[in-house]
Amino acid sequence: MKIRRLLGLDIAREKYAFAKDAAVGHISAQRVADTWVKTTCGYCSVGCGMQIGVREGKVVTSRGDQNHSVNRGKLCPKGLAEHYVLNAENRARYPHLRGKNGLERISWEEALGTMAGEFRRVAEKYGPQAIGVISTGQLVTEEFYTLGKLVQLGLGTSNFDGNTTLCMSTAVSGYKRSFGSDGPPGAYEDFTKAEVILLIGANIAENHPILCQHLDANTKKTLIVADPRVSKTAMMADIFLPVKPRSDLALVNGIAHILIRDGLIDREYIDRHTNGFDELCRFLDKYDPEYVSGITGLSTELLERVAHLYGKANGAFIGWTMGVNHSSKGTETVNAINNLALLTGNVGRVGGSPFSITGQCNAMGTRETGFTSSLPGYRKFENETDREELASLWGVAVERIPTQRGLAYPDIISAVLRKKIRALWIIATNPLVSFPNIDVLKQALGELEFLVVQDCFHPTPTTVLAHMVLPAAAWGEKEGTYTNSERRVSKVNAAVPPPGEALSDFDIFLRLAGELGCREELFPGWKEPRDAFEEWKRVSEGRLCDYSGMTYEVMEAYGGIQWPYPKNADTAPTAARRLYTDGVFETADGRAKLICAEWEPFPEQPSQDYPFVLNTGRTVEHWHTRTKTGAIAILEQIAPRAWLEMNPVDAKRLMLRPHDLVDIVSTRGRVRRVELRVTEVIAPGQVFVPFHFAEWNINEVTQDIFDPISREPNYKQCAVRVEKAASA
């Protein structure tokens, strides 16, 4: 009960049950469903199974799927309220084109004809690489697979990336460097079987609430949480490590140092399955407890205790999320985490893996089928055999498969600014709220000759800037699959048709391919997502992410199937599957790499003018830029506005009081009139603001500094000053 209270789930549920009536405003009999449609939650990467209740052709409610292995009937507040998204007033219903009177309604024929014409014009004038495409981890896999083929082979540009570079690209790069391939090795079962669970920069209580059910089921674990903030997850911990901002790399190196010094490593595993041990030992020499204590702010006793717990555990699990990824040292921090797991043989073991908890409902699907940082099926751009295999599967000339990735998201934006990219297609992401240092982005978008935004909501801060807006069907209105953090592929189904003339992203892609004249070549005879899924099964066959034994029907019957699931899979779909259980990795010699990664301070340190370290993140009620949750009355009522968390010591010094309105200022911008929360959740010298609110957009002040390897933004630290707001 204590944990559930801390999570806020009970509280949220009570408020939810109460306010649901008020929000909907009609009698409960009208909310009794006559049909239930099975599907998967469209918010986070936990991947809960759910059912949408439909009455007389309208969605009226949703509930957890008792038979789904991920959530066994439970849902968090967002999942419980998800059906409201579909009836929101500000759904995008018709295509629009910018004319004399702003965005004007047009037909689909005109929209897609104009779009194909503009892309062709730009390609002829400047070359196909002058077209950029930015997509998302929120499409179904079938759509993303189709889009990759369309962009690469149809439009002929490799300048294709997604919001996943604001999110997961660091984990992807880290896995590739250490293990030779992307792919989180563990399973949710590890949460229930591990003896030690170390969560680094992962606030699952707010952001992956149903994972807490898996943790709760493990009564023998020691839960260690590293976060500069006393997050709700930190409140659940047996041991809380209040690390100084972005000192995690030193922390993890320091634990490795103690493990090696005290012989708490698996020498046999290291000798058989890794390269680089001697070099790593020499490198880690300086990361002794005193040195690491100075960087992290943790006592040497605490460091020794944590290292010994980790090293002696029968099953030690490390989960991390954005506290690690949102950093210009992120990839190297992931490598250091992977080192810890390799040194102790905790990879793909029951209860032991280095596990990147993903973010969006289908961030994983984009990683598997992508054409962004890899070729589909985790094939490598630089590998000739991989390119030949893909070309022959598709029956196209190998020259059409690129030999290197195109520009990553932030580099697409700077190419737009430099007029190297002239046309941009943005699909299911809202950069005007989510991209760091928004002013530079705004300048860049102003340079474009043609901007198309495809979204299920309109207006949004991004759609209003577009030359063309394409209305898309949302979750609940379309079919396909999502892959969750543990590589479980679950079915997504339509409960109702999309509003107005909105089309599924899948249909939009196929129709655009028709306009571009490549539909029959690339998507012969395709009519529905299942056609894409069947082709993807063949493309993934024999790869690490092998889908070839899956079917939609088996997936639905078992509450999802984890990959790899080859044609003649030798275990039932229900058995937990892990990667690298035999210690053989995806590198040339099958060995994983131990990587030396040096800690360094974050780029913009506090100064006299900007004395606070700004941390940004999430709250349980809201989803990202709030296009969805902002339309849901109950969630809005619980979290109606942005706030800034400040320690009482700092508030006293600045003579600020709870609920004062404050401005947050950096060298890049100012966010006005944010409500002050005075709380010891945040340490002195640091402040925290959620990034969900366009009205108080914290990305006005964040910094556009990126990880040189993954290109992920350093969202979690920059220097700001806090001022009492001028009276309105």
Ligand X SMILES: Nc1nc2c(c(=O)[nH]1)N[C@H]1C(S)=C(S)[C@@H](COP(=O)(O)OP(=O)(O)OC[C@H]3O[C@@H](n4cnc5c(=O)[nH]c(N)nc54)[C@H](O)[C@@H]3O)O[C@H]1N2
User: Which one of ligand SF4, Mo ion, ligand X, none is in contact with 79 (Cβ closer than 5 to 8 A by kind)?
Assistant: ligand SF4
Interface with ligand X, residue 707, by CB under 6 A: no
> Taking CB under 6 A as the criterion, which residues in 669-728 touch ligand SF4?
none
Buried b (16+ CB within 10 A) or exposed e, 560-594: bbbbbbbeebeeebeebbbbbeebebbbeeebbbb
- Quick one: tokens of 118? 């503009």
Q: Cα–Cα distances in Å, from 357 out to 47, 166, 585, 724?
A: 12, 14, 20, 37
Distance, CA of 516 to CA of 119 (rounded, Å) = 9
Which of 413, 326, 367, 382 is closest to 133 using CA atoms?
413
In the complex, least distance from residue 7 CB atom to ligand X, rounded to whole angstroms: 12
Closest to Mo ion by CB, 359 vs 476, is 359
In angstroms, the CA 481 to CA 489 distance is 6
- Name residues contacting ligand SF4, limited to 58-87 (CB under 6 A): 71, 75-76, 78-79
SS3 225: strand
Amino acid (1-letter code) at residue 509: F
Tell me the DSSP string of 307-345. HHHHHH-SSEEEEE-HHHHSSTTHHHHHHHHHHHHHHTT
Which C-beta is closer to ligand X: that of 298 or that of 343?
298
DSSP reduced 3-state for 269: helix
Give me the torsion for CA of 404, 405, 406, 408, rounded to 10°: -150
> For residues 76 and 664, which CB has a smaller minimum distance to ligand SF4 in the complex?
76
CA-CA distance, 520 to 529, in Å (whole number)? 16
Identify residues 117-146 at the interface with ligand SF4 (CB under 6 A). none
DSSP helix/strand/coil, 534? helix
**Which residues of 16-124 form beta strands (DSSP E)?**
35-40, 49-55, 58-64, 96-99, 102-105
Q: Smaller CB distance to Mo ion: residue 233 or 339? A: 233
Site for ligand SF4 contains 202 (CB under 6 A): no
Candidate residues 7, 46, 140, 342; the one interacting with ligand SF4 per rule CB under 6 A: 46
> For the chain, how are helix, strand and coil distributed in percent, rounded to 5?
40, 20, 45
Residue 147 or residue 390: which is nearer to ligand X going by CB? 147
Q: Which stretch binds ligand X (CB under 6 A): 126-134, 199-207, 365-373, 538-546?
A: 199-207
Q: What is the SS3 string spanning 149-182?
A: HHHHHHHCCCCEEEHHHHCCHHHHHHHHHHHCCC
Give counts: helices (H), strands (E), the chain: 28, 26
Does position 456 interact with ligand X (CB under 6 A)? The reply is yes
Which sign, positive or negative, has the C-alpha torsion 603, 607, 609, 614? positive
Which residues ranging from 668 to 687 are in contact with ligand X (CB under 6 A)? none
Q: Please report the beta strands in 390-436, taking only residues with DSSP state E, as ranges in sequence order.
A: 423-427
State the minimum distance, in angstroms, from the CB of residue 70 to ligand SF4. 7
Cβ proximity to ligand SF4: between 47 and 630 the closer is 47
Binding mask 230-259 for ligand X (x = CB under 6 A): -x-----------x-xx-x-----------
**Window contacting Mo ion (CB under 5 A); options: 30-38, 160-168, 377-385, 632-640:** 160-168
Shortest CB 325 distance to ligand X, Å: 7
365 contact partners, CB below 8 Å, separation of at least 6: 137, 139, 140, 141, 144, 481, 482, 483, 489
Pick out residues in 334-373 that bind Mo ion (CB under 5 A): 359
Q: Does 9 bind ligand X (CB under 6 A)?
A: no
In the bound complex, what is the minimum distance in angstroms from residue 382's beta carbon to ligand X? Answer: 27
Q: Does 41 bind ligand SF4 (CB under 6 A)?
A: yes
Least separation in angstroms between CB 488 and ligand SF4: 11
Residue 231 CB, nearest distance to ligand SF4 (Å)? Answer: 16
Segment 586 to 605, residues that bind ligand X, using CB under 6 A = none
Which partner in Mo ion, ligand SF4, ligand X, none is near 237 (CB below 5 to 8 A by kind)? Answer: none
Per-residue binder mask for ligand X (CB under 6 A), 613-632, x = binder: --xxxx-x-xxxx-x-----
Residue 280 binds ligand SF4 (CB under 6 A): no
Residue whose C-alpha is closest to residue 324's, from 669, 714, 628, 723: 714
Alpha-carbon distance 181 to 171, whole Å?
A: 11
- Are 157 and 421 in contact, with CB atoms under 8 Å apart? no
Cβ nearer to Mo ion, comparing 136 with 481:
136
Restricting to residues 295-334, name those near ligand X by CB under 6 A. 321-323, 326
Residues near ligand X, by CB under 6 A: 44, 136, 138-139, 163, 166-167, 200-203, 206-208, 226-229, 231, 243, 245-246, 248, 321-323, 326, 359-360, 427-431, 433-434, 454-457, 460, 472, 474, 505, 615-618, 620, 622-625, 627, 691, 698-699, 702, 715-716
Residues near ligand SF4, by CB under 6 A: 41, 43-44, 46-48, 71, 75-76, 78-79, 208-210
